[in-house]
Structure 1
Amino acid sequence: MPSTKSLFSPASGNGPSEQGQVERQIALEYLAEAWNNAEEDGLESAALAHASLFAALATFVRMHGDDATAEMIAQLPDRIRSGEYNLERVLQ
């Protein structure tokens, strides 16, 4: 299997549970491969990001319902501002 760059590599391996972290990392590697393939086929990163967000939110709504998903999304601004989704941040 060819090696692909992962634009989703975490800044840190720390997470709520080791097994959950391993599973999320594997899932991110699958997504990174699909993302890279789509970009190689000419799709723009912004289109991929929008489609990914839609798919993720639709999955959360299906699994947890509208209200729980909305509550989770309401927490995102603070998490984004704190750098949780910044792949270049350095944890000390």
Structure 2
Amino acid sequence: MSVTKTLFSPASGPGPFDRSQAERQLALEYLAEAWNSAEEDGLESASLAHASLFAALATFVRLHGDEATADLVSELTDHIRNGEYNLDRVVQ
């Protein structure tokens, strides 16, 4: 698999990986490849983001239920405001 660019590379560079982190990174690389292909086909990033959020949340609901998913989403607010999803931030 070759990925020309990735939206999801960590801003601070790779750290030591355990198995689950390595698996999540590989999953992100697969998603980045699909994302790049969709953009090349003319799909807008905002549409891809909305579809990705829907698919992710629907999967969490199926795996963990409504309440656990709602709890997860409510915790995201602080993480987002703290810049944890900003790919351009520099971690010191």
TM-score by length of 1: 0.91
For the aligned residue pairs, the C-alpha RMSD in angstroms reads 1.6
Inter-partner Cα distance in structure 1 for 2:78 and 2:88: 18
Q: Which ranges of structure 1 fall in alignment gaps of 5 or more residues?
A: none
- Name the % identity: 71
C-alpha separation between the residues in 2 aligned to 1:35 and 1:9?
Answer: 14
1:3 to partner: Cα distance: 3.6
Question: Once superposed, which parts of structure 1, at least 4 consecutive aligned residues long, lie more than 3 Å away?
Answer: 12-15
Which consecutive unaligned segments of at least 5 residues does structure 2 have?
Answer: none
2:55 is matched with: 55
Q: Does residue 19 in structure 1 map to residue 22 in structure 2?
A: no
Separation (CA, whole Å) in 1 of partners of 2:73 and 2:15: 22
Greater relative contact order (CA < 8 Å, ≥ 6 in sequence): 2
The alignment of Structure 1 onto Structure 2 pairs a total of residues equal to 91
